[in-house]
Structure 1
């Protein structure tokens, strides 16, 4: 019998996953993950820059990243928009050039996978529980 068949229909309908919580953003460094940010609405370039403005430096400080660190994000249009590139340039952030369509090279993808597994094991029953579990499990992720 398949695992989903073992669950009652009521239980199966109550389990929520990360896609229902919206998008999340974060950073990682050699000391582990930075802040986990929930994005509740559709993100655009201006919102992305606002998230960076409020969270990039605090995450870098929390991760004890000294001068000379390099910022890396993928080639999402919000990340590569002229306004975003200009904002990063004005803030003097060093940005790693990144090949298109290369999520397998992105180290944070491994953390997203690990977070999804940990959250699924705890079977959140609603969006509020999902958010809480995401934050708890993100905080437990190891640096290595």
Structure 2
């Protein structure tokens, strides 16, 4: 039941699994859940952000084209609550499967946004 649940929804937490099993009449610990999933070849990993479309579109671009690119990124630091990493249970080499990724959606709240960039000529 543990493996089946995690296969359907890799974002299931150990706490969710413990609660589901308790409702079914079986008492287990979080450590038992982890050990069971590890024996099935699964491990807890950070969910990846999927950016495959861009990578595939530019796979064969010549090196000179990249000298005209400015790379930028931003991060949000939440002032209230946790800015925690979500974890998923997955098998080896399955990190980019859609079930194992999280969408890159921004939402409001008390936070600070930071931005930076760099190019072939240096940081900005």
What's the TM-score, normalizing by structure 1?
Answer: 0.22
| Higher Cα Rg, which structure | 2
> Which structure shows the bigger proportion of residues in strand conformation?
2
Q: Could you state the TM-score of these two structures normalised by the residue count of structure 2?
A: 0.24
